[in-house]
Structure 1
Amino acid sequence: MRTISEAMNVAGLFSEEELSLLAAARQAAKRAHCPYSHFAVGAALETDIGIVLGCNVENASYGLSCCAERVALFTAVAQGATRFLRLALSCPATAPDAPVESRMPCGACLQVLSEFLPLETPLLIDGVGKKQLKELLPYPFR
């Protein structure tokens, strides 16, 4: 059975390298700690030090939870990354007919990403395709 991103590749939306990054994001989602939402998310951030993974980590006090995108970014910064090339995101349990909005990064993640990633950075989103950060957050707070 093909994954959503592999099916999308039939139309040539992703390169083999991009599919590999999406596969890493799907693997990262398997490590998610999401006992409250049951909505696992994985991220794979390509950096100057290699691929850094992140998954969502929830807490009973929801405000203390952290999204996969921020976990990947914060881990990369802690490991010494200084250049961020692209980010792949996957929500593997999302139904194929779910609205696009259910797969997108939240506003908090977009704002945090804009602090470190150029606005032209490609975001590879399973079930959606490629977007640039500036398409999802055209006017980040500065």
Structure 2
Amino acid sequence: MDDLIEQARAAMDASYAPYSEYRVGAALQTGDGTVFTGCNIENANYSNSVHAEELAISKAVEAGHREFDAVAVVSSEYDGVTPCGMCRQTLAEFCGEDFAIYCDEGDGEVSEYTLGELLPNTITRRHLDV
């Protein structure tokens, strides 16, 4: 967990957040232990902004990964930020309810959640007629 938090912090340093000044970094660990990072990238048209978790999972999926063990999320405020609803839903596409989410509270404190806690009764493939 500590290594994931450190990698999320390093990713946060690359953040582009000139409007909100709220920088976010994420580190996503795959089933085989590979880590992909992402940072938020803001756009003057806020709806086109990229979230750190979305970037990390996109990079991992592009590299062929489909199984994930954990994600760490850090913000420049060290406020224990959790993934937003959109990011939670994206994680739910690939991760089960027991997927670990670590959120940096600062001063060495980390909150730990499962995806099921943060997004109960999520929409999954079983809801679709595929």
TM-score past 0.5 threshold: yes
Native 8 Å contact 1:121 1:133 kept in 2:
yes
Aligned residues: 119
1:121 pairs with one of 89, 93, 99: 99
SS at 2:41 equivalent? coil
Q: 2:59 pairs with 75, 84, 94, which one?
A: 75
Counterpart for residue 53 of structure 1: 37
Q: 1:112 corresponds to which residue?
A: 90
In the alignment, structure 1 segments of 5+ residues that lack a partner are: 1-17
Deviations 1:41-78 (A, max 9, x none): 00000013611000001111111111101110011000
Deviation by residue 1:62-101 (Cα, 9 ceiling, x = unmatched): 111111011100110001112111101111x216xx5x5x
1:13 corresponds in structure 2 to none
Unaligned runs of 5+ in 2: 125-130
Q: 1:121 offset after TM fit, Å? A: 0.5
Separation in structure 1 between the aligned mates of residue 8 and residue 82 of structure 2, nearest angstrom: 14
Task: Determine which of 12, 15, 19 is the counterpart of 1:32.
Answer: 15
Please give the per-residue CA displacement for 1:10-55, whole angstroms capped at 9, x wherever unaligned.
Answer: xxxxxxxx11110000000000111111100000000136110000
* Matched residue SS, 1:26: helix
Q: Secondary structure at the match of 1:45?
A: strand
Higher strand share: 2
Contact 1:25/1:89, CA 8 A, preserved across alignment: yes
Q: TM-score, normalised to structure 1's length?
A: 0.79
Conservation of the 8 A alpha-carbon contact between 1:49 and 1:80: no
User: Partner letter of residue 123 of structure 2?
Assistant: F
Secondary structure (helix, strand or coil) at the match of 1:126 reads strand
Q: Structure 2 CA distance, aligned partners of 1:138 and 1:49? A: 26
Aligned alpha-carbon RMSD (Å): 1.4
**How much identity, in percent, do the aligned residues show?**
38
Give the distance between the partners of 2:97 and 2:16, measured in 1 at CA: 29
Greater percentage in helix: 1
> Are the aligned partners of 1:49 and 1:81 in contact in 2 as well (CA < 8 Å)?
no
68-77 vs 121-130, which moves further: 121-130
